[in-house]
Amino acid sequence: MTDTWGHVHYRGPETVVIERKLTRSVNRRITNDWRREVPSLGVYRPRHLLRRVGPLLVGICLDRDSGGADYLPHFHVHCLAAIFPVVSLTLATSLRTERTDAADWVKVRWHDERYREAAARMVRQSLLPLEGDLRLAQVLDAYRRYMTTPLGRWQSALLYRDMVLLSTWVGDPAQARRLLDEALRVVTDEVCYRPLDGRAAFEQYCRERIARPELVHQTVESQIVALKVDRLPVSNLLR
């Protein structure tokens, strides 16, 4: 006998139960369950819920383990103002337990019992609100908080690039220039600039975008199409 999860039970002298796994139908059901709990987000892909806030994607990714028996919710954002072939997991912050602050994996077999509380906790723990308009100051604060983490420190040049682009997009070039100057002053490890082809390339790229904000707006529009995120719920990023 097979239940609605594809969980197979063999009747006989001994009952053998196959562990519940993330099949296509289970992925669909889990995605829909989380969407009902966080209705401000739309389905981007199975186990991936997003909304667009101006030039920023904000949402939750339900990351599976290698065996497909567990998943781990992550809050994350992605800046559409920079060309990238996929939706990145920038600011990725996993669901944490309240008692020990450990990563809180959800077993697929216990999804029905756990997802409502897990979704509510993920909303509380997210670095940015998952509904409504956002202000630039909120977003910059989330980026700065993430920079205090080990991965955030290593990604600091990339994070500053996003902050410069977001400030330029909302029409605040003075803020963008301050952030660029700050980055060049505080990000001293050349390793941090390698994903951006070095410190000089990073500076040139940012200065060009600040001087020509139309390039930032054009990139956002082209990335919306390229990443197929045009049907997601949309809110505003305010200055």
Sequence-ordered alpha helix ranges (H) in the chain: 24-37, 111-125, 136-147, 150-154, 156-169, 173-186, 199-211, 213-226
Q: What is the C-alpha separation between 89 and 77, in angstroms, rounded?
A: 6
Angle formed by the axes of helices 173-186 and 156-169, to 10°?
Answer: 170
Give residue 20's pLDDT: 80
**How many residues are listed for the chain in this entry?**
239
Give residue 17's pLDDT: 34
Q: Is 6 left (phi over 0), alpha (psi -120 to 50) or beta?
A: left
Q: What is the C-alpha separation between 80 and 56, in angstroms, rounded?
A: 6
Asked if 64 and 73 touch (Cβ cutoff 8 Å), the reply is no
Give residue 207's pLDDT: 98
The token pair that represents 161 in the structure block: 């690039």
Residues 6+ apart with CB under 8 A from 108: 5, 20, 21, 22, 26, 30, 68, 69, 70, 71
Q: What is the C-alpha separation between 43 and 47, in angstroms, rounded?
A: 8
pLDDT in tens, the chain (239 residues): 444 444 444 344 443 333 488 898 999 999 999 999 999 999 999 999 999 999 999 999 999 999 999 999 999 999 999 999 999 999 999 999 999 999 999 999 999 999 999 999 999 999 999 999 999 999 999 999 999 999 999 999 999 999 999 999 999 999 999 999 999 999 999 999 999 999 999 999 999 999 999 999 999 999 999 999 999 999 999 99
Give residue 14's pLDDT: 43
Looking at the DSSP bridge assignments, the partners of residue 43 are 49
| CA distance to 1, 88, 186, per residue, from 111 (Å) | 20, 26, 44
